Structure 1
Amino acid sequence: MTTTQTDAALNHAIIEFYDKLSSWEHAIVRDLGISLAHIHTLETLGFHGAMRMKELAEKIGVTTGTLTVQIEKLVSTGLVKRQPHASDRRSILVTLTDEGHRLFQQHSDHHSELTQELTADFSSAECQQLLALFQRMNQHF
């Protein structure tokens, strides 16, 4: 296979994987009453803890205006809360509520199950190699 053919095949495989993962995630969140963007916001807060709005917006790749709308919805559904920053009175921290933590953990568990299913036939060395490759790719974002 030539380099061009390999590049094209790799491009197609990445797109196919992304499409399948997106479809899977949409199916998982469909009955939760919140959007995929909302669950990704919960995931970010679940993994990183309380964050300033600006920091959270940067982490999930949206504008602060877009994030404000998302946070309003998540506050109204009782999944996140706003609280004043302890050392910066101008900043507001966003954090998960108990229900937000529960939903985050439930969604995280689904991801763990999928990862186990996808790598069930992989050796330990292959899992380590896959992890290293994902970490290298993630550095580009």
Structure 2
Amino acid sequence: MINTLNHAIIEFFEKLSSWEHDVVREKGMTLPQMHTLEILGIHGSMRMKELAEAMGVTTGTLTVLVDRLESKEFVRRKPHDTDRRSINVELTDTGHVLFEEHDRLHLQLTEGLVGACPPKDREALLRCLQTMNREF
């Protein structure tokens, strides 16, 4: 059973990754750039250090990502309100529009994938995914 589950998770990850690459490439973005917009779109303005931690990258890597996103006018840096040493990153209006568009594509994909599953299976899937996310 565990081998079958392992292979199913890997297959799903590969298919989802391929879909994600295609969608992001059409927008002239890289996956890490889009993931940056997703995190900011979901959580709002964040300190650079917090954003790097959320993405699992170094602050140096994030600086390069934010530089590129800022040059495309998708994000902006702002001084932190209370900590002069910190810089916040937030979506611009253009970045927010792109995030919302991408989020809608994710929602459509999710609706299509789980639409054939009975409601109790959807609830079980949600519980399993939440548990796995906590364990990560």
TM superposition score normalised by structure 1:
0.95
Give the counterpart letter for 2:22 in structure 1.
A
Give the counterpart letter for 1:109 in structure 2.
R
Cα distance in 1 between the residues matched to 2:40 and 2:110 = 21
2:83 alignment partner, SS class: coil
Q: Give the deviation of 1:62 after TM superposition.
A: 0.5
1:43 is aligned to 38
Q: Is 2:78 the partner of 1:91?
A: no
Query: Of the candidates 108, 111, 123, which is equivalent to residue 116 of structure 1?
Result: 111
Give the counterpart letter for 1:71 in structure 2.
V
Q: Give the deviation of 1:100 after TM superposition.
A: 0.3
Query: Of the candidates 5, 10, 13, which is equivalent to residue 10 of structure 1?
Result: 5
Cα distance in 2 between the residues matched to 1:11 and 1:123 = 23
Q: Give the deviation of 1:129 after TM superposition.
A: 0.8
Q: Is 2:70 the partner of 1:71?
A: no
1:131 is aligned to 126
Paired positions, count? 136
Percentage of identical aligned residues: 54
Cα distance in 1 between the residues matched to 2:42 and 2:54 = 11
Q: How does 1:20-35 map to 2 (within 5 A)?
A: 20-35=15-30
Moved over 2 A (4+): none
1:28 alignment partner, SS class: helix
1:3 is aligned to none
Which one has a bigger Cα radius of gyration? 1
Q: Tell me how large the CA RMSD over aligned residues is.
A: 0.6
Cα distance in 2 between the residues matched to 1:11 and 1:86 = 46
Q: Give the deviation of 1:130 after TM superposition.
A: 0.6
Unaligned 5+ runs, structure 1: 1-5
1:44 alignment partner, SS class: helix
Query: Structure 1, residues 56-102: CA drift from partner, whole Å, max 9, x if none?
Result: 00001101010000000000000000000001111000000000000
